[in-house]
A = this chain, B = another copy of it.
Amino acid sequence: MAYILEKTDRDLFYSRNDPKDRRLGELVHRGKMLSVRDSDVVIIGVPEDRGILANKGRAGAAKGPDDVRRRLYKLTPGFNMDLDRIKVIDAGNVSTKGLTLEEVHLALQEAVADAVSRGGIPLVIGGGHDLTYPGLAGLVQGAGLKKDSLGLINVDAHLDVRTDENGINSGASFYRALSQLPDKALSGSAFVEFAIQEPYNSPYYYNWVKKQGGSVFTLKEVSERVMESFIQALSMVSKKGHIVAISLDIDAVRSTEAPGASASNPSGLKAPELDKIAYLAG
C-alpha cells in the first residue's frame, strides 16, 4: 500500500533567533522521505487514535504528533549531542484522510519500511499505542529481518498484550509483535516489558508474557535505579546481530501525576534519554 506524508506545520519549528542558543526546531530538518540518507533519524507522526477508543480509552492522542513537536522543538539538543553529525529529518505526518484504521496501519508500515530501507532510523510519534505494531512490521520489512533478529523493549505502565481478535486496539501491540510479525522476527526471549504498573494489569496477561519467554520489569522493581535497570533490559534484548526497537508509552511518564502510582522515578524515563538509545544495533 502506498502512503502519503503531510508536511509538518512550519510554525512548530521553534526558534529564539539566537545563534548561541539553537533549539531543536532549528536543528531538525523539515524534509522529504526521498532525502533520507544512511543513519539519518526520520521523524514520522501518526495523528490517529481510533485504536484507543477500541480499547475503552479516551481520544485525544491524534493531536499527539504535533503537540510533541511543539514541546520537543523548543528544547536544545543538550550539551553533548552533535546535531551537525547526526541529521534529523522531520518527514511529516502519515495522512489518515479517508482511511480506515487498518489502512492507516498499512500506510505507517510502508512509511517506516521506506525510511529503514534508505538507511534511516525511524522515530514514530503517535497516536494510539496500537501504532507500535505497524511500526515494528515496517522495521522488519524495511531491514529484511529474519527469525529472532529483533529485540524490543516496551516502556509502559501497561503490558498491552491483549488479542486483536475483535479488531485493532491500543492494548494489543505486543501480542501482535510476538505472534504476527513477518518471519517471526521477535521471540519472547528478546522482549522486555519495562516499568509496568501491577495494579493496571491482570495476572492473566502477566503470565502470558512470561509464557512467551518475555521479561516483565515492574515499576516497583525499577523505580530505585531506572537507568541501570534500563541498561540491563537493553543488554537482555541486544543479542548479536539484533536490531533493537524501543516503544515508549506516555503512560509510563504520566504515572508521575497518578495518585497512588510511583511518582518519582518513572519520570526519569525521559523521552530524550530514550531517543538516544532507540534502535541501537546490538
Contacts and interface: CB of A to CB of B under 8 A. Distances in A.
Given A56-B16, A71-B259, A77 B268 contact: no
Contact of A203 (B79, B202, B204, B259): B79
B271 A198 contact: no
Given A16-B56, A223-B268, A268-B223, A202 B263 contact: no
A272 B79 contact: no
A98 interface: no
Nearest to A267: B263
A120 to B, nearest CB: 23
Contacts of A223: 268
Given A22-B202, A78-B203, A257-B257, 19 more contacts: A20-B204, A21-B204, A75-B199, A76-B203, A77-B203, A78-B199, A79-B198, A79-B201, A79-B203, A79-B206, A198-B272, A253-B260, A256-B263, A256-B264, A260-B271, A260-B272, A263-B263, A264-B267, A264-B268
B260 A268 contact: no
Total identical chains:
3
Given A199-B78, A202-B22, A264 B265 contact: yes
- Give the residue among A75, A76, A79, A220 with the most B Cβ atoms within 10 A: A79
Contacts of A267: 260-264
A78 B20 CA distance: 44
A147 interface: no
A71 B199 CA distance: 11
Interface string A197-220: 011111111100000000010101
Contact of A21 (B80, B205, B262): B205
A253 B262 contact: no
Interface in A77-107: 77-80
Sorting the interface of chain A by its residue count into under 10, 10 to 19, 20 to 34 or 35 or more gives: 35 or more
A146 interface: no
Contacts of A268: 223, 262-264
- Give the residue among A80, A202, A223, A262 with the most B Cβ atoms within 10 A: A202
A32 interface: no
A268 B197 CA distance: 12
Nearest to A171: B21
A71 B260 contact: yes
Interface in A40-66: 56
Contacts of A79: 198, 201, 203, 206, 216, 218
